[in-house]
Structure 1
């Protein structure tokens, strides 16, 4: 498989698509349906050119090319990381065997399900962000939004290729379903709850790309370990692109916090709403919401499905090959904090195999903490004592061991009345959301930026902030 990508083909690819005429025709038949979906559900704002990166290879260096592209003309395609011919399975009952190049019959349904769930998230985020371009705070941010969108579209292509290439008629039908479902639809919603939530303002976008795309990083990381080698190589390259999406979220929240801190110092008040800034307590409420919705994406803390996927070799742990254990987990255990009806917490010892979702969530939480530390350092720089924090993992949960309990951000188990009385202190209220949306006025003038966010410290690909990242008519 070549490292470089064939852009002369109708569908850019590095999988030698032209050698399989049947597969090529099937994907070329799906391509106009994708373009119709993009036209209907992709970005509303029309532009003439956006300074985008396009993958030109899958190696470690020099893999991306930057230039202005008319977004509907972006060349979506199929890119897999280079194959390691000596790769073996790193975990589960097939540990040590050669990685699979075809789908074993006994795991066909489970692998297809994993690919469909991952594939369903990719177009969902594009749909959620459809209107954001209309209120972009700068051309730099508008460019980043479009970059995220086109790459999520390409990640959809990645999963559709696997469905078409390895799962026959059922795979082709599932690929159709990925365009049929729509985020927030009452009749045909996306599979996972977080991808049916509204992303109506740019603070929500930054929180989404920090917290929810970070969940995507960890889910892709587990699939990168898969014994099914085409899935592993697909996810390996997707992770390379996904890093920019999290960068957008991390630095986006950085810049909101920095601007709020500047306004607080300038006006000597925490109440900066009148000065067109976002108060820190509202930023914390947004953090609470997006973090907890993203935690639900990890599923139940204990899961026989996750155990079965691991044992079969379908889905590993985060950085599986770096783990210092037997990669079987049949004798290992983990500890789960469980809430009780009496308002107390107990620790339950569970089989490590059953606690794989908990293991992955723990890795994710530690990663999320790094962002909170960044944002608190910004407050330190401005001599502001307020501190952001991640709420307790049981707070505001709809999935798993905490779903039937009311748990405060500090981790106290309370009754429903107490929860409802304090909801507005912990989660964005209708008034909070309306206020943030009231700040969302587009700034399309080169080198200018909205009042509620600081400019970035660096531009894209060595360009300055005042570069013309987007061309209009």
Structure 2
């Protein structure tokens, strides 16, 4: 069933009306969700009508419609990609068996943990971005922020549905807890470190949506391979929405670079202080933000060697990115993969069982994808005749998780001593001065078609609308 039933209180394509108990449970959770949105969702936006995309079907052709809607009235819902009754598990120890429609008892705890961890990231990013609307560089950007916010809210619904439907009382308690933890809270923080970091400004937001939402793409792609069919179908549809979040990040940074390059060419200088004085963000600051967001995001993939990763794969709970395109045996026993460790102050590679290194496999896939986008940013600089290039730091740089945690490493991959780290840290990671400078640029610009001085306008508007379209109506 691909169309979405919008006559129901909770829009869905899972025949929710046929399961009254489940429907009542989710309708009981709904007011708590709306209270959470009011309390820590986009600040000051209650009366706004925003030109939003709403899913109306899960058919890749024409799955969404656009229109002005109050975000609080957005029709969050539960959408699964169409099922295939003959779908087989295509990796791990259960390879060749029928995909599961219900949770096998022996995998219950691990599946619940996977779903809760994924679910926890969705409201966390809304909380992290709560105040950004107050400093939007344009109405176009404000609308994109709000689109991401409502879709993260819907991704939370997707995970809560699975918890309620398949995990009984435990699932209901976990669904409540998803609204009780809060990003950066001292006593009850979000599960993963990156989701407790602040997103203080729009450059951080663009880096977050480029890197951290890209982590989401890879995690969701791995879950879309799952032997647990409802999880696979849910995450496949989430990926359709996730693409826009990464577009906002990639195009946002591109537009910042375009404006910076323009100022550098007008002033005929690469002096960061002169670029800053002209109201643009200097390339050094952009590079330091990149280094920080990239390193925090690659930690999200977990330890480089993990028995959990091996169990999740062998059990069929979580595959690899694009599992179906890989040409090995999809069981991986006896295969190895190279990971890094530090021996006598030097980085060395060592072979470890591939099943234990699957976090590293996914991290390396992510790195390849991230580097490709950074190269596209460099094309903006190249086209403008600016010789500087942005680079992705070494994967051991600024790591807090796994064998590389706490190692002092330069962005270009040299192990450094404490003294050099202390001396160079402010060249490699954003400083309080960087944050204060970027914050000083964050004045709100929301007249249609007008843009803050530190960012270039986009090439085109949203859904074939002009760039100066009224994307947000302030009530």
Q: What TM-score does the superposition give when structure 1 sets the normalisation length?
A: 0.99
1:48-447 mapped onto 2 (5 Å cutoff): 48-270=48-270, 271=272, 272-340=275-343, 342-447=344-449
Q: Secondary structure at the match of 2:355?
A: coil
User: Does the 8 Å CA contact 2:398/2:406 hold for their aligned counterparts?
Assistant: no
Q: Which runs of 4+ in 1 moved over 3 A?
A: none
- Once the two structures are superposed, residues 165-224 of structure 1 have per-residue CA deviations (whole angstroms, 9 ceiling, x without a partner) of 000000000000000000000000000000000001000000000000000000000000
Q: Secondary structure at the match of 1:413?
A: coil
Indicate the residue corresponding to 1:468 in structure 2: 470
Count of aligned positions: 471
CA distance in 1 between partners of 2:206 and 2:282 (Å): 16
CA distance in 2 between partners of 1:404 and 1:202 (Å): 28
1:448-463 mapped onto 2 (5 Å cutoff): 448-463=450-465
Q: Secondary structure at the match of 2:222?
A: helix
Gapped runs of 5+ residues in structure 1? none
Moved more, 186-195 or 45-54: 45-54
CA distance in 2 between partners of 1:347 and 1:133 (Å): 45
CA distance in 2 between partners of 1:297 and 1:312 (Å): 22
1:418 to partner: Cα distance: 1.5
CA distance in 1 between partners of 2:455 and 2:30 (Å): 38
How large is the RMSD of aligned CA atoms in angstroms?
Answer: 0.7
CA distance in 2 between partners of 1:181 and 1:374 (Å): 37
CA distance in 1 between partners of 2:152 and 2:193 (Å): 18
- Once the two structures are superposed, residues 88-119 of structure 1 have per-residue CA deviations (whole angstroms, 9 ceiling, x without a partner) of 00100100000000000000000000000000
CA distance in 1 between partners of 2:412 and 2:198 (Å): 26
Gapped runs of 5+ residues in structure 2? none
CA distance in 1 between partners of 2:184 and 2:339 (Å): 33
- Once the two structures are superposed, residues 447-472 of structure 1 have per-residue CA deviations (whole angstroms, 9 ceiling, x without a partner) of 10000000000110001110110001
1:338 to partner: Cα distance: 1.5
Q: What TM-score does the superposition give when structure 2 sets the normalisation length?
A: 0.98
1:48 to partner: Cα distance: 2.5
